[in-house]
A and B are shown apart, each in its own frame.
Chain A
Amino acid sequence: MGILKLTVNGAEHHIDAEHTTPLLIVLRDHLHLTGAKYGCGEGQCGACTVLLSGKQVRSCITPAGEVAGRPVETIEGLSQGATLHRIQQAFIEASAFQCGFCTPGMIMATAGLLRENAHPSGEEIRSALDGNICRCGTYSRIVKAVAKAAGGAERV
């Protein structure tokens, strides 16, 4: 075991865990940030998506030891206090979820996308989020929500 130094949502944490421990487990079990979810453990579904230095990563296959010194952002850090982020608001308005288990990962992947491409086309949204699975099948609504969050038309 060793002490890992992590910066999550702007706060610094010292965690007693092995460097190979998946970031997802550190976030959930050690920091009790349970917004990122375990869906597959092999980076296939995107339910565990968080931002590392502003880019989306699969926290289930990212060793916690590798992220030291770089900022990690999770769904818990997205909203400003009680005010929801515009992406979160757009997901509510478009009812872009059913069970909601994929939603934090979808929203973080969207946050990563919109930082790189503020006004993505429908095709760009589908392509950027294709690594995220919504088993309930709300894909069409998610595309509309992302377009709405990006300030585009609802229909894309």
Chain B
Amino acid sequence: MFDITAQLTRREAAKRLGAGVLFTFTASRLGADESKDEPLLTSRLHVAEDGTVTVLTGKVEIGQGIRTTLAQAAAEELKLPPARIRLIMGDTALVPDDGGTWGSMTTPRTVPVIRQACASLRELLRQSAAKIWNIDSAKLNVADGRATSPDGRSYDYAELAKSAVFGVARSTDAALTDPAKWRVCGTPLRSVNGPAIVSGKLTYSSDLIAKDTLFGKVLRGPNHRSKLLGFEDAQARELPGVRVVHEEGVLGVTAPTEVLAEKAARLIQARWSDDELGGPETLFKDLRSRARAPEAGNGGRYPPVMHAGSVEAGMASAAHKLKATYRLAYIAHMPLECRTAVAQWQGDRLTVHCGTQAPFLLRSEIAQALNMPEERVRIVVSDTGSGYGGKHSSECELEAARLSRGITQPVRLAWTRAEESTRVYCRPAAIIDVTSGLSSDGKVVAWDFHNINGGPAGLTPPYAFPNHSVAFHASDSPLQQGSYRSLAAAGNAFARESQMNEMAAIAGVDPLEFRLRNISDPRLKAVLLRAAHGFGWGKRKAGNGTGFGLACNLEKGGYIALCAELDVNGHEVKLRRFVAAFDAGAVVNPDMLSNQVEGALVQGIGGALFEELKFDRQRILNGVFSGYRLPRFSDTPEIEVHLIDQRNLPSAGAGESPITAVAPAIAAAIYSAGGKRVREMPMLPALQETTESAKIS
């Protein structure tokens, strides 16, 4: 059973970390993803008296395997076996703010930070030993967790922890291990969570059910705009142990059991305002009519407007022009673990255990909503039953905090599947307009690309288009929308790569050859050729219901190419085979990386073929699994992943890039099988419509 320690006293912190020394680094070299103005001291590493090293990080484990990868990175630099490393992740009372776990940033940004801290500690070990032995530190060797002298003396991290009375490591510029000499990084270390996962012992936030826990339930109107007008709760209050809570528009109950909480909630009659969402039948018309001019902002990671050359001149010189519009439906993240928060107050201090991707953002949002200083809010993140960009917001955690106010017991608020998929943001619907110009020698000489409502991520073409103009136009959405794995890049790549395939057909050139003519980036060329070779591209003839498709992309530093084979039978599409090549720089853990690529490809199948949130004017209609189709075993093709390890290049993140290639490769394969050019995600409903209308005519 889980024991909730609501507030972390100095003694409790010591208990959690164990006896030893906490090493603090200045943030100038070892800071968070987001740049901060003030110099920070960051407690990053703890060395216990038995020599175990604990790495402290604000990043969290959401299934991407980063607990393992970070342990590997630390082990490599400390020259310790990975089994001697542990990680405390996402506890705002203990760890530094490394930014949210999003945007494929942990491997490129946090791995180097942790490597640097660990390299510094390793050098401290070396120098301490040198000082004790009065010997030149360059003559010492550090391996297997100890510094050894030429005459056989040794000094390990346990001894360092026992002797050290200092807490600041000064040598933050210690040299990192040359990737060419990696011994732990670059190997397929199995998940450090593996034994706990397969035994059912990994404790997710939804598993935190302490003995005195009260169960919460929140009442909800038809949609996110509904406002509470009034309620009648007399019957609910008669149930034993039930409290009814009404605070700042949140109406809910707490009860001694989950069953009783649900019963009490059903007995409350609440009246809601009749605010509407907007009509689904006019969705795309409305998004277009409400689209705003792109705001040329400060650039940032996803600048909303970019130009090169002259699109006008390019169009004028083009032998062929192609204009097409692509559309994307709303889709839900559907992480298998629904949000669960366990909140507990101690006086004016609040602790919330949960499964968020962004502990420090949550702390700030909750403190602001409850009008209290951040220092009095502690967020503790459990390793999470996945997120895919969907768990950045604080709705559930804030509700739990409100339900538990005024009592001393912890309140557990576990959202249902329907709440998880209808009460937070989803991936935006989008319209993408593309006009392109093609020269007579098969080169794209003009590219005009406008995304409405989808987002600015992944607008930049990875091709050598001399004249291009890309823009993102924000609009007003009937549904709450936000981050999703790869953000808008999946939609933008779908439109871009589909347009490329169509232009290749106009030029009468094979889609692989057509791309090679328009690529100058050697890494993009390399993944394309690797995937094509692995697949046997061009060796078999498409037709008779069997089709082949190809797509490539550069997203968040990761180069992806995907070849797909499928069968089209009437309205059904059966995926047969995916062969992908991926280059994300130096590979820290090939097994984790390959798993991420495979997972992203499978997740992409849903958005490409069948996932769609349906809604009417009042509510989202299919927020449960029986109404919302997700990829299953039977939807998954044979998958082959070729990793290109570039040890001499920095590592990019891998969680997002591969998903962007899926829809365009499938669309191309459907067309090659003798089907239609489908310009909508998801494709299956669109495929049915086109087939039916063709029949009618």
Using CB atoms and an 8 Å cutoff, list the residues of chain A in contact with chain B.
Answer: 17-18, 21, 25, 28-29, 32-42, 44-45, 47, 74-76, 78-79, 84, 88-89, 91-93, 95, 97-104, 107, 125-127, 129-130, 132-143
Residues of A contacting B166 with CB < 8 Å?
none
Most buried by B among A33, A47, A74, A100: A100
Beyond A37-B385, A103-B198, A132-B633, 16 extra complex contacts between A and B, CB < 8 Å: A35-B201, A38-B206, A45-B336, A75-B199, A92-B191, A92-B198, A95-B591, A101-B335, A101-B336, A102-B336, A126-B633, A129-B633, A134-B336, A135-B386, A137-B599, A138-B599
B207 touches A34 (CB 8 A): yes
A sample of 17 cross-chain residue pairs with beta-carbon separation below 8 angstroms, ordered by A number, consists of: A17-B257, A18-B259, A36-B200, A37-B336, A39-B338, A42-B417, A45-B625, A92-B191, A92-B195, A101-B204, A101-B336, A107-B198, A133-B336, A135-B630, A136-B386, A139-B602, A139-B636
- The answer to whether B1 touches A32 (Cβ under 8 A) is yes
Q: How far is the CA of A41 from the CA of B309 in the complex (A)?
A: 55
Contact across chains for B197 and A103 when beta carbons are under 8 A apart: yes
Which residues of chain B come closer than 8 Å to A33, judged between CB atoms? 200
Residues on A with beta carbons closer than 8 Å to the beta carbon of B191: 92, 95, 97
Please give, as numbers and ranges, the residues of chain B lying within 8 Å of A25 by CB-CB distance. 258-259
Stretch in B57-65, B370-378, B394-402, B432-440 with 4+ CB within 8 Å of A: B57-65
Rounded to whole angstroms, the CA-CA distance of A74 and B386 in the bound complex is 22
**B63 A136 Cβ-Cβ under 8 A:** yes
The answer, among A41, A95, A107, for a CB contact under 8 Å with B595, is A95
Indicate which residue in B1, B338, B624 contacts A42 across the interface (CB closer than 8 Å). B624
Q: How far is the CA of A29 from the CA of B335 in the complex (A)?
A: 22
A34 and B416 within 8 A (CB): no
Which residue of A is nearest B630, CB measured?
A133
Q: How far apart are A85's CB and chain B's nearest CB, in angstroms?
A: 8
Note all chain B residues with C-beta closer than 8 A to A79.
Answer: 199
Q: Given the interface contacts A39-B417, A47-B336, does A84 sit within 8 Å of B193 by beta carbon?
A: no
Chain B residues within 8 Å of A95, by CB? 190-191, 194, 591-592, 595
Q: A102-B336, A141-B595 are in contact. Are A84 and B199 (CB under 8 A)?
A: yes
Contacts of B596 in A (CB 8 A): 98
The answer to whether residues A104 and B385 also contact, given A95-B595, A126-B633, A137-B631 and a CB cut-off of 8 A, is no
Query: Across the interface, do A42 and B625 meet the contact criterion of CB distance under 8 Å?
Result: yes
Interface of A is mostly: loop
Q: Known contacts being A32-B1, A37-B336, is A42 close to B626, with CB within 8 Å? A: yes
Contact indicator B199/A99 (Cβ below 8 Å): no
Could you tell me the distance in whole angstroms from the C-beta of B187 to the nearest C-beta in chain A? 13
* B200 engages A104 (CB within 8 Å): yes
**Residue in contact with B62 in the complex, picked from A17, A35, A99, A125, CB distance below 8 Å:** A99
Q: Does B209 interact with chain A (Cβ within 8 Å)? A: yes
Contacts of B195 in A (CB 8 A): 84, 92
Contact flag A100-B598 (CB < 8 Å), given A79-B199, A143-B633: no
* A41 x B416 contact (CB < 8 A): yes
Q: Which residues of B contact A37 (CB under 8 A)?
A: 204, 206, 336-337, 385
Contact partner of B199 (CB less than 8 A), chosen from A88, A126, A132, A139, is A88
Contact B602 A137 (CB under 8 A): yes
B336 touching A98, Cβ below 8 Å? no
User: Is B54 among interface residues, defined by CB-CB distance under 8 A?
Assistant: no
User: From residue B89, how far is it (CB to closest CB) to chain A in Å?
Assistant: 14
- Asked if residues A40 and B634 are in contact (CB atoms below 8 Å), the reply is no
